[in-house]
Chain A
Amino acid sequence: MNQFEDQLRRALRPVDPPAGFVERTLALAGEPQRKRPPRRLLQFPRYAMALAASLALAVFGLQYREYQQGQQAKEQLMTALHITGSQLTQIQAKVVPANAEK
């Protein structure tokens, strides 16, 4: 056995698991129907889902605002057209009898 391999053996000596490991493992073994979720696999999707939901809300909010502005513009245009139409009708009502008198 050479010295380097002895050093390697010392470096790779067994280590104790964190405190309470045995108790936690036994407790988990007692819950067969509740499958433990893989901790790290779920962390990323949770954050990703929250981020995606925030982005979707922001996009939806912007689109709804644009839709509302469009609706307002449409209503204003319709009102303007309506007023213009009424005024044209009034003018026509005045012009047509005047021409008829001539």
Chain B
Amino acid sequence: MSHLAAIPATATTAARADFEQIVREHSAMVFSIAWHYLHDRALAEEVAQDVFLQLHRDLDRVEDAGHVKHWLRRVATHRCIDQVRARKTRAQVALEDAPPLAAVEREADPLMSRLLQRLVASLPPQARMMIVLRYQEEMDPMEIAETLGIPARTVRTRLHRALHLLREKAARQQREVNS
């Protein structure tokens, strides 16, 4: 039985089909933002579902495909930040539980990737989200600023600091491993 059958009759068939298409197309993007930010698989799924359920309620307001992606990124970003603020917890780094990579290509250095994921998880919430949006979503500082609702100059400064911090920590940890 199609899951679309369960969607209320008030929604048009086209809207229901659109919604399913949107969920299929963007689930990896929304889930990945939550996963890279929260590092908790169950919580990331919960947040991602909430984002899509909110979209389902507001589907009429979405203008086009480009707007959907922008809308989903923005809502996912704020939901993640709200989660961390509400619980006042740091990200749980349970990387053994890491989900499979969507990309087919294998990682060149899986250990380095895990180290970087751990270091990203240790960043302050806003800087962490900036790094996720910059390097997962390839967003430029202007887009990140718009998504987070802060000045672009602030984004550039904090991204620069966060990168510097990550580089230093990564180098230090690699030196410790090699010594």
Residues of A within 8 A of B (CB): 4-5, 7-18, 21-32, 36, 38-40
Contact = CB atoms under 8 A, between A and B. Distances in A.
B20 A10 contact: no
Contact of B117 (A11, A22, A32, A40): A11
Contacts of A24: 49
Contact of B28 (A9, A17, A27): A17
A39 B50 CA distance: 12
Contact of B27 (A17, A36, A38): A17
Interface string B22-58: 0110011101100110000111011011001100110
21 contacts: A4-B166, A11-B117, A14-B32, A14-B101, A14-B102, A15-B28, A15-B100, A16-B28, A16-B31, A16-B102, A17-B28, A18-B45, A24-B49, A25-B52, A26-B6, A26-B7, A27-B3, A29-B7, A39-B42, A40-B43, A40-B46
Q: How large is the interface on B (under 10, 10 to 19, 20 to 34, 35 or more residues)?
A: 35 or more
Contacts of B35: 15
Contacts of A39: 42, 46
A89 to B, nearest CB: 76
B31 A15 contact: yes
A13 B6 contact: no
A98 B76 CA distance: 104
A23 B31 contact: no
